[in-house]
Structure 1
Amino acid sequence: MANSYELKASARDRVGKGAARSLRREGLLPAVIYGDKKAAMPITIPVKETTLTLRKGGFLTHVGTVEVDGKKHKVIAKDYQLHPVRDELMHVDFLRVSANTTLTVDIPVVFINEEGCPGIKRGGMLNVVRHTVEMNVPADAIPESLVFDLSKADIGDALHISATTLPEGAHPTITDRDFTVATIASPGGSQDADEDSEEAAATPAASAE
């Protein structure tokens, strides 16, 4: 399961751009908690602690706890906004989660044993078709990554989603085929038509839905 975090928060009764600017001058950040068939809850969270949490990585895949005036809420960040120039956090949307919640999350792909890969030893190159895989996962069991072993991959081989062990209760949103995650390309970098088609079908990762 992905690492968790905890943030202190306070209920927010002021809304609008003016109120948001005032909060930021105080070192606070406007945010909202929504979902689970409950009313949205506007809150304020500390800019410094939230920024540190974001920069640790996995902000959109880690389930955390936001304590609002003494009451703890289990959440996952669904979206955040950055200042277009200063790259500073401007707003965060949190979704309430429970043990029964299923989330759609982009899970990073990790490759191991690259140094022992037969195809790479022969001059081939690892061609990553998908850097993340969109998956439906239980909120309390989000994997840190999907691991693919390259120890037996040779030039021309393709690693499909079936080549990794999926966590219990988790499955890709693409269910109609055993899609390609990576290939071992020849030294010239050429790929066959099927691999080119698969790469074209892959879309860049976006924030979790």
Structure 2
Amino acid sequence: MQFTFAATKRVEQGTGASRRLRRAGVIPGIIYGANKDAINVNFDHNELFHLLRNEKFHSSVVTADVEGSKESVILRATQWHPFRPVVLHLDFQRVDASQKLHTKVPLHFLNAEVSPGVKLEGGIVSHVLTDLDVTCLPADLPEFIEVDLKDLSGGHSLHVSQLKLPKGVEVVHHGEGDPVVATILQVRGSGTDDAAGEAAAPAA
């Protein structure tokens, strides 16, 4: 899916100017990176608010049309109002097609309901991670990474090293070890525990 949105260059600076823009339905922001000067810009609040509700927008290379000049960018930071559904500021980083980028990609969990730990043992899936730090060329950036839980049993975990990554995508490791992505928690009194309890019970 391709995302394109409009932006205009911003001349006014300062807290007071930003406050006036927000009252007029405009989001102040910035576009930077790729060895070019950063530019202060404005976005239409309604347009960007709806785009931000789409998960794919957060992990895709998107196009900012700045007064007719198109920039390939990726969303880096979003500042929200503390309690109102209002976007206060947006940061976008330019993307160079020849340079790898480092970003977070959401995880999509599949087949939890048919995994042995859930279907046969009555366990509950715990999502330890919901996204993954990756590095790749912009053309290889996936919208999400699938996590298949179909073979996971109760009391067992699935680790980052077990994920099937799209071509050209590498995990960015933080520290040592192999982080847990998901695990199935066994619920007391369910599944195999019930069977064991019945076997141990004395005959009537």
- For Structure 1 versus Structure 2, the TM-score category normalised by the shorter chain is 0.7 to 0.9
Larger-gyration structure (1/2): 2
The Cα of 1:46 is off from its aligned counterpart by 0.8
Aligned length: 187
Residue of 67, 86, 89 corresponding to 2:87: 89
The Cα of 1:181 is off from its aligned counterpart by 1.0
Aligned partners of 2:145, 2:55: CA distance in 1, in Å? 16
**In the alignment, what sits opposite 1:155?**
154
* SS of residue matched to 1:60: helix
Task: Report the CA distance shift for 1:86/1:148 in structure 2 as closer, same or farther (over 3 A).
Answer: closer
* CA offset digits 1:72-96 (Å, max 9, x no partner): 0011111121122323111111100
Aligned partners of 2:55, 2:107: CA distance in 1, in Å? 14
Aligned partners of 2:73, 2:144: CA distance in 1, in Å? 20
Task: Report the CA distance shift for 1:57/1:150 in structure 2 as closer, same or farther (over 3 A).
Answer: closer
For 1:162-177, what aligned pairs fall within 5 Å after superposition?
Answer: 162-174=161-173, 176-177=176-177
Q: Where does structure 2 lack aligned partners over 5 or more consecutive residues?
A: 190-204
Could you state the TM-score of these two structures normalised by the residue count of structure 1?
0.81
For 1:12-91, what aligned pairs fall within 5 Å after superposition?
Answer: 12-91=10-89
The Cα of 1:139 is off from its aligned counterpart by 2.1
The answer to whether the 8 A contact 1:148-1:163 is kept is no
Following superposition, which runs of at least 4 residues in structure 1 exceed 6 angstroms of deviation?
none
Aligned partners of 2:85, 2:165: CA distance in 1, in Å? 35
Task: Report the CA distance shift for 1:35/1:146 in structure 2 as closer, same or farther (over 3 A).
Answer: same
The Cα of 1:147 is off from its aligned counterpart by 1.4
Structure showing greater relative contact order (alpha-carbon pairs closer than 8 Å, 6 or more residues apart): 1
The answer to whether the 8 A contact 2:73-2:92 is kept is yes
Residue 183 (1) aligns with residue 144 (2): no
Aligned partners of 1:73, 1:174: CA distance in 2, in Å? 30
**In the alignment, what sits opposite 2:134?**
135
Task: Report the more deviating stretch, 130-139 or 44-53.
Answer: 130-139
The Cα of 1:42 is off from its aligned counterpart by 0.9
* CA offset digits 1:146-203 (Å, max 9, x no partner): 21222222223221123221122211111743332112222239xxxxxxxxxxxxxx
* CA offset digits 1:14-58 (Å, max 9, x no partner): 111122122223322211110011111111111110111111224
Task: Report the CA distance shift for 1:188/1:107 in structure 2 as closer, same or farther (over 3 A).
Answer: farther
**In the alignment, what sits opposite 1:11?**
9
**In the alignment, what sits opposite 2:193?**
none
The Cα of 1:138 is off from its aligned counterpart by 2.2
Amino acid in the other structure paired with 2:66: V
**Identity rate, percent:** 35
Aligned partners of 1:100, 1:61: CA distance in 2, in Å? 18
The answer to whether the 8 A contact 1:60-1:79 is kept is no
Aligned partners of 2:128, 2:25: CA distance in 1, in Å? 41
The answer to whether the 8 A contact 1:125-1:184 is kept is yes
The Cα of 1:142 is off from its aligned counterpart by 1.8
Task: Report the CA distance shift for 1:151/1:86 in structure 2 as closer, same or farther (over 3 A).
Answer: closer
The answer to whether the 8 A contact 1:33-1:95 is kept is yes
* SS of residue matched to 1:162: helix
Amino acid in the other structure paired with 2:27: L
